[in-house]
Structure 1
Amino acid sequence: MFKVFGPSVGTEKSTHPVTFCKISLGRRHVQYSLLFFGGLIAFAIRASLSVAIVAMVSDHPPDPDIKTYPNWTNKDVILSSFFWGYALLQVPAGFICYKYGPKYFLGVSFSIASVLTLLAPLMAEKMGSSGIMISRIIQGLSQGFLYPSTHSIMSKWTPLPERSRALSFVYSAGTLGPTIGMPIAGMICGSRYGWPMVFYSFGTIGLLWSFTFLWLCHNSPQEDPGISKVEQKYLKQQIHGDSGGKRLPVPWRSLFTSIPFWAIVIANSGNNFGFLTLLAEIPSFMEGVLKYNIEQNSFLSALPFLASFVIALFLSPISDSLIVRKKLSIEASRKIFNCLGTYIPAVALIVLSFINPEMKSLAVLLLVIAVGINAAVLVGFNANHIDIAPNFAGILMGFSNGAGQVAAIIGPLLVQVIVTDQSDPSQWRIVFIIAASMFISTSTFFLIFASGDIQRWNGGGESTTTKGIALTSYKYVRVEKAVNIEAESEE
């Protein structure tokens, strides 16, 4: 056990040392937890339709009173419709979060998405598949604030020595959400409550999170009245390139002519094409080619995303340790982990496209590898926004994730065109090879052109490296040093 300084333990501004499993819990961890659970619920809502749609178009519901729509032939278009709205609002959301702060925009927009989830069964009954598409488009618009807001908040709350771990924890919700959401959706769909209860349950949980987030979230340490002076000082020291709360003018020309920025955009696009196509289409592949029923399907479809969550939590401290101990530069770490997260899945998908469909266990294993190892990109391109421009991280995320969502729209629509017979492995082979090609080509661009340095246009007049920075892990700050920091801040 190490004695650590616990800024939020005991009283609002405690100055007493505590021992707590080598981890100093602070107000920043409240923000991480809020954002993690928000992402978890958002992705559970998003992924649950991939399972629910199978039940919605079934001829044989578990209860004859449950209405289904077997005449719907536009399943992949419905799955794609979420991203139409989601992609549209990414860039404006990034700018809005930068200018006005993300807290209220994310909280209110999330509540709107949750209400639309609750209304989905009614809209299906009254308007058919068009009703579900309208619901999903508006949900997508509302969730468009999720990633720009998250990155904007994290850029103000995440010190460099724990950046990989914090970002991986928060964004691993994107893989844990399907892991939880898909099996639950499968169980509900197979029960007497049927597919409508999927939307009622997840919509209610989403509303509860929105109220909690609006109560506890703060845009930055400066806005949090309960943060200790020690933690505030630590964050100020370790978040390099911070503008100190000032609103700097957005350097649009420099941003759009920045090669490291475009490396992130291209990496995000290729990764989203591959990952989100798999997220939407794995249940259909499981049913059509591997012949699993809906309950088996939902559990096995979630398994790759569970692997992704576990791998993200395993790799992120390795990345932080390599950077803090100066075994790797930030740039080298981001590039190595990004390649691991894309090249290995690409190989797995290529092998998957050529195996015999009767080899079900191997097919599932390859899907687990393809989706699981992809978690490494969370400490690759995904963390790189804050590395190169912490002052504009939300705006950068808005642009790069917006481009990524356009790629995500194309994926399911491409499947609709290519896979005319869902039981035909040769048609799925084309889909998997295209996804693998996108993983490899875009990650290679990132490998060549990405940077780990804070860019000149972030503010401050010149680019910054971490070579001269004393990286201090907060959990090893001794009590005497913490008290000195507080005394210093009071002066």
Structure 2
Amino acid sequence: MVSNSQTTSALKSAAPIFGRRHLQCFMICIGFSAAFAMRVNLSVAVVAMMDNKGANPDFPEYHWSEKTKSRILSSFFFGYVFTQVPGGILARRIGGKILLLLAFSISSVLALLTPWAVSFGGWKLLCFIRFLQGFGQGTTMPAIHTLVAKWSPVEERSSLSGYCYSGAQLGTVVILASSGVLDSSSLGWPSLFYIPGAVGLLWAVAWIIWGANSPDECRSVSAAERALITESLNKKAKQEEGRPTLPVPWRAIFTSLPFLVLLLSHCANSWVFWTILTQIPSYMKSVLGKDIKSNALLSALPYLTMFILGLAFCPMANYLEKSNRISATTSRKLFNSLGLWVPVVTLIWLGYMTREQSDLAIILLTFTVGMNSAAHLGFQVNHIDLTPNFAGTLVGMTNSASHVASSIAPLVVGYVVTDTKNPEQWRIIFFIAAFIIHLLFVFFGTAKVQPWNDEQTGKVYELKPLNRVVVEKSSGNTELSK
């Protein structure tokens, strides 16, 4: 009889340091970065499209009103909201690999067609193209969550999920930092659509070759790594084969306190993040006299910091959980608090900055956005904790609600800030953004699998290792058996 601790240690030593689960996460990160670049590219390209004096004048210029510009920029998110929940359901039925492939491939083709669409159909066709891109990318996060739930051992769930979603910051940094150079190059502003689109199609080819829904469907995963994952998830691979698809327990989900707390945390995070993303440039220019949009590198600095801190937090969470220093629930609460509560201080402080303190304001802005990466190891991964079977569906639901919140945030700013040069009005916005963050997750958040995850269990349980696994090494080969 082998103890649980000995079994876990043996599996860890037998599994490769960089395994197929790490390759899956790396590829998801790169694909997500290309998708995010396709999401934010129009925000920087539209500047050159409406005023090519600071870019390459050989490319067409469009004279759109601010109202038309707002419609163009928001069209992506109108499509994005529609496919969140259906994306979660589809991910369970057809698998995350196919859904992610379709989402990124379609979005890439549409990105390549965008310059042609503008010249042929004007802003209306551009809005339609962006709507379709959002409609396709709405399935992205449910698909990624479904894949992470299948590929990550419980103790690595935070870190692997964090690595996957760090692609969002990577894509944002690259497109913002390179926008000025690309706009002025011989390729002009269309290159902001061509390059991410081409990268997305190249990624799709690689994903067809190396992507997989789960370890059971991946022929190249080692026996040791497959056993490590299935052992950690407290499942046997054979139990998954032929298992009927469970119906989504809608009523149980909407009456679940952990889910409702998770939903509110996701909405709070989106409110703060999109308030900063959409309104801080205006605040910096109007109140502090610092136009960060004119400096591509300065615009990318907060998101570069977020990317770097995210990569630093992932191994930290991995170490704390794998060494059993803290439980999964404590880890989620710790990183969620770091990501949501530390910005409270910096946001309030930012509201009291003067024009003479603009450099300090940039530092506070960078720190506020950067620390948000910790929250992704809290509420973001918590969907998989609560229900591995319905993780994609759950993230689709909370992501839809969070985007409603992020859409309301700019409207609140427009209602409160009637004079963009009035620091007191901006201070109200920062206080609202700071205190929309709440303590509910600290008190009621949990990493326990909920009873509605599997209708056959009827009880809340913690994921624990199986009792008997024998690891044998001989002649350089590793064999695992129960």
| TM-score, normalised via structure 1 length | 0.86
Provide Cα deviations, 1:196-228, integer angstroms capped at 9, x if missing partner: 221122121122212222222111111112222
**Cα RMSD over matched residues?**
3.1
Name the counterpart of 1:464.
Answer: 461
Provide Cα deviations, 1:239-294, integer angstroms capped at 9, x if missing partner: 24787353223222222211111111111111112213433445555555555567
Which is worse superposed, 480-489 or 66-75?
480-489
After the TM superposition, which residues 59-458 of structure 1 pair with which residues of structure 2 at under 5 Å, given as runs?
A: 60-74=53-67, 75-240=69-234, 244-245=240-241, 246=243, 247-285=245-283, 296-415=294-413, 425=423, 428-438=426-436, 440-441=437-438, 444-458=439-453
The amino acid of 2:445's aligned partner reads A
- Contact 2:76/2:131, CA 8 A, preserved across alignment: yes
Name the counterpart of 2:27.
Answer: 34
- Contact 2:267/2:398, CA 8 A, preserved across alignment: yes
Which is worse superposed, 141-150 or 43-52?
43-52
The amino acid of 2:441's aligned partner reads F
- Contact 2:234/2:466, CA 8 A, preserved across alignment: no
- Contact 2:112/2:194, CA 8 A, preserved across alignment: yes
Name the counterpart of 1:486.
Answer: 479
Closer, same or farther: CA 136–217 of 1 in aligned 2, 3 Å: same
Closer, same or farther: CA 183–64 of 1 in aligned 2, 3 Å: same
| TM-score, normalised via structure 2 length | 0.87
- Contact 2:472/2:480, CA 8 A, preserved across alignment: no
Which is worse superposed, 363-372 or 25-34?
25-34
Provide Cα deviations, 1:291-310, integer angstroms capped at 9, x if missing partner: 55677532111111111111
Deviation of 1:366 after TM superposition, in Å, equals 0.9
Q: Among 40, 58, 61, which residue is 1:47 paired with?
A: 40
- Contact 1:5/1:482, CA 8 A, preserved across alignment: no
- Contact 1:44/1:181, CA 8 A, preserved across alignment: yes
CA distance in 1, matches of 2:307, 2:167: 7
CA distance in 1, matches of 2:279, 2:47: 11
CA distance in 1, matches of 2:364, 2:181: 25
Provide Cα deviations, 1:163-204, integer angstroms capped at 9, x if missing partner: 221111111111222111111123212445432221122121
Closer, same or farther: CA 370–384 of 1 in aligned 2, 3 Å: same
Q: Which sections of structure 1, spanning at least 5 residues, go unmatched?
A: 8-15, 472-476
Q: Which sections of structure 2, spanning at least 5 residues, go unmatched?
A: 1-8
- Contact 1:80/1:409, CA 8 A, preserved across alignment: no
CA distance in 2, matches of 1:57, 1:426: 32
Closer, same or farther: CA 411–300 of 1 in aligned 2, 3 Å: same
CA distance in 2, matches of 1:112, 1:422: 39
State, as a whole percentage, how many aligned pairs show the same letter: 38
The amino acid of 1:133's aligned partner reads C
- Contact 2:473/2:479, CA 8 A, preserved across alignment: no
Closer, same or farther: CA 170–313 of 1 in aligned 2, 3 Å: same
Give the secondary-structure state (helix, strand or coil) at the position aligned to 1:461: coil
Provide Cα deviations, 1:43-96, integer angstroms capped at 9, x if missing partner: 122222222223233363433332223442133443332211111110000011
The amino acid of 1:211's aligned partner reads V
Name the counterpart of 1:11.
Answer: none
Closer, same or farther: CA 130–263 of 1 in aligned 2, 3 Å: same
CA distance in 1, matches of 2:290, 2:219: 53
Which is worse superposed, 478-487 or 316-325?
478-487
Give the secondary-structure state (helix, strand or coil) at the position aligned to 2:481: helix
Deviation of 1:326 after TM superposition, in Å, equals 2.9
Closer, same or farther: CA 228–64 of 1 in aligned 2, 3 Å: closer
CA distance in 1, matches of 2:161, 2:370: 17
Give the secondary-structure state (helix, strand or coil) at the position aligned to 1:486: strand
Which is worse superposed, 334-343 or 428-437?
428-437
Deviation of 1:152 after TM superposition, in Å, equals 0.3
Give the secondary-structure state (helix, strand or coil) at the position aligned to 2:213: coil
- Contact 2:49/2:61, CA 8 A, preserved across alignment: yes
CA distance in 1, matches of 2:309, 2:19: 25
The amino acid of 1:102's aligned partner reads G
Deviation of 1:121 after TM superposition, in Å, equals 2.4
- Contact 1:186/1:294, CA 8 A, preserved across alignment: no
Deviation of 1:17 after TM superposition, in Å, equals 7.5
Give the secondary-structure state (helix, strand or coil) at the position aligned to 2:337: helix
Closer, same or farther: CA 286–70 of 1 in aligned 2, 3 Å: farther
- Contact 2:103/2:137, CA 8 A, preserved across alignment: yes
Give the secondary-structure state (helix, strand or coil) at the position aligned to 1:380: helix
CA distance in 2, matches of 1:241, 1:377: 29
Name the counterpart of 1:474.
Answer: none
Work out the number of aligned pairs and report it. Answer: 465
CA distance in 2, matches of 1:226, 1:320: 25
CA distance in 1, matches of 2:326, 2:109: 46
- Contact 1:90/1:398, CA 8 A, preserved across alignment: yes
- Contact 2:52/2:59, CA 8 A, preserved across alignment: no
Name the counterpart of 2:4.
Answer: none
CA distance in 1, matches of 2:77, 2:375: 21
Deviation of 1:236 after TM superposition, in Å, equals 0.6
